[in-house]
Structure 1
C-alpha cells in the first residue's frame, strides 16, 4: 500500500516547477531577444519579455550571413554549424568505437599486465585537456593538422570514461554466451559484432548523446587549432560575433545562440528513451 502525502507531493512538484523555470527562463529570454531589433534591445530598460517582429530578418542574417539592418556584416552560422556537426559526430563515434574495442580487448583477451594497461587508461581521467593542451597542440602542429577536422577531433576521441563503462558492462556478460559462441565456431570479432554490440546498444546510445554534446560544445581546443574562419565551430563563432564588432547587435548573437542549441536539443529529444534506458536499465 502506498501512502499518499499531499503536502510532500506539492513540495516536490513545486520544487521541480521552480527548477524548470530557472533553467528555461534564460533560454526564453534568448529567444525573445532574437526576435527583436538591435535598437529595441539597446533602448529597452529592462528588456521586453514579449517576442518582437524582427524574427525572420534576424534569423536570416544569423543563418546565412550578410549585412544587418544596422549596417554590420556578420558571417553565416550555417557553415559553422556544419563544422560543429561533423566534429561532434567524429568525436562521438570515434570515442565509442575506440572505447568498445579497448574494453573488449581488456576483458576478453589474456595478455601480460592486462590490469596495468586498464589502470593506465583509467588514470588519464586525472589529466584533462587543459593540463595536456600544450604538448597536444605541439604534436598536432608538428603533424600539420591545424585548421583541419583531424586536428579538431583526433586529440579528443580517446575516452577513459567510456572504456571503463564498457568494461564494467562486459564483465556482467555471462560466460555461457562466450562458451556458446566458441562452440558455434565464432571468432573474437564475430562474437564482438553479433553478441556484444547488440547487448551494448542502449549503453552506446546513452554515450553517443553525452559525447555528441561534449564534441558540439568544444571551445578551448578549437580556439587553439583553428585560425581559418572556414573551420570555426559555431560555439567559437558566437564569441567572434561578440568581439568582432565595435557595436554588438545582440539580436543576431542571440539568434546564433538559439541555432547552436538546436542540434544538441534535437539529439537529446530524439534519443531520450535510449539515453534514459542506457543509464538506468539494469536488465543487461
Structure 2
C-alpha cells in the first residue's frame, strides 16, 4: 500500500532539486567562465552571467589549443581519450566475461583459488603496482603508443566478480538444454550467455568508459609524445603554467569539451545502464 503524503512528496522534491543544484552549479560556473575573456578573472571573482567570447574560446581550443602551456589542440586529445576509454572498457569486459565463464562453467584444479587470486587484486590499484608495470611496458617497447595506454589497464577483478555472480544465477537447465542440442561451450556462451548479459555489459561499459576517460596518472607516465596526450593531461598542463596566470576561460572551455563525450555515452545508453544496475533476475 502506497500512502499519499503531500508534505513528504514536497520534501523529497526539495531534496532532489537541492542535490541537482549542488551537482550542476560547478558545471554551470565552468560553462560561464568559458564564455568570458582572460581579463575577467583577474579580480579573483567568477562572473555568473554569460560573456561574449563563447564561440571564440571554443574555436581557439579546437583549432590551436594552448601551445604556450605545452597543450596541443583539444581535438586530437579528445580522440586519444576516446580510443583509450573504449579500449579499456572493451578489453576489461572481454577478459572479465571470459574469465567468469571459465570459472563458473569449467571444472579445473584450483578453480576457486584462481577466482580469489583475481579478486584479491582489487586491493592493488594502479598506483601500487605502477613501477613494475611501467618496467614491463618499457621493456616491451609500448611507451608512447596506444598499447601502452590500454593493455596494462584492461584486467578487472570487479567486472570478473560481477559476471561470475550473474552467471551463477543462470539456471542450470539452460546449460543442460544446450548440451542436449549439441552445443559446445563457446556456442552456449555466444548464443545464450552473451544475450542474457547485454544489460550487464552495457552498465559495465559506461562505468569502465568513464574510468578510462578519467585516467591521468598512467597516461602521464607512459606518454611523452604530444600527439598521444589525453584530454585530462592537456587540462592539467593548461592549468599548471609557469610564470603566468592560467587562461581560465580556455581551461574551462577544455573542461566542458572534455565532459561532453562521457555525458553523451551515458545519455545514449541510459536505459540499458539503469536496467543493468537494477535487474536481478533474467
- TM range, smaller chain: over 0.9
Distance 1:67 1:97 in 2: 37
The 5 A counterparts of 1:1-284 are 1-43=1-43, 46-65=45-64, 75-244=72-241, 246-284=244-282
CA shift at 1:282, angstroms? 2.1
Kept in 2: contact 1:34–1:55 (CA 8 A): yes
CA shift at 1:99, angstroms? 0.4
CA shift at 1:134, angstroms? 1.0
The TM-score, its normalising length taken from structure 2, stands at 0.96
Q: Please give the secondary structure, in 2, of the residue aligned with 1:48.
A: coil
- Structure 1 residues 73 and 167: alpha-carbon distance in aligned structure 2, compared to 1, 3 A threshold: closer
CA shift at 1:72, angstroms? 8.3
Distance 2:73 2:94 in 1: 33
- Structure 1 residues 109 and 58: alpha-carbon distance in aligned structure 2, compared to 1, 3 A threshold: same
Distance 2:281 2:42 in 1: 55
Q: Once the two structures are superposed, what CA deviation does each residue of 1:99-150 show, in whole Å capped at 9, x if it has no partner?
A: 0100000000110010000000000001111111111111111111111111
Kept in 1: contact 2:219–2:230 (CA 8 A): yes
Kept in 2: contact 1:91–1:154 (CA 8 A): yes
Aligned length: 281
Kept in 1: contact 2:121–2:157 (CA 8 A): yes
Kept in 1: contact 2:71–2:237 (CA 8 A): no
Aligned-pair RMSD on alpha carbons? 1.6
Kept in 2: contact 1:238–1:253 (CA 8 A): yes
Distance 2:125 2:21 in 1: 33
Kept in 1: contact 2:71–2:226 (CA 8 A): no
Kept in 2: contact 1:61–1:74 (CA 8 A): no
Could you list the runs of 4 or more consecutive aligned residues of structure 1 that deviate by over 3 angstroms after TM superposition?
Answer: 71-74
Distance 2:60 2:14 in 1: 40
- Structure 1 residues 197 and 37: alpha-carbon distance in aligned structure 2, compared to 1, 3 A threshold: same
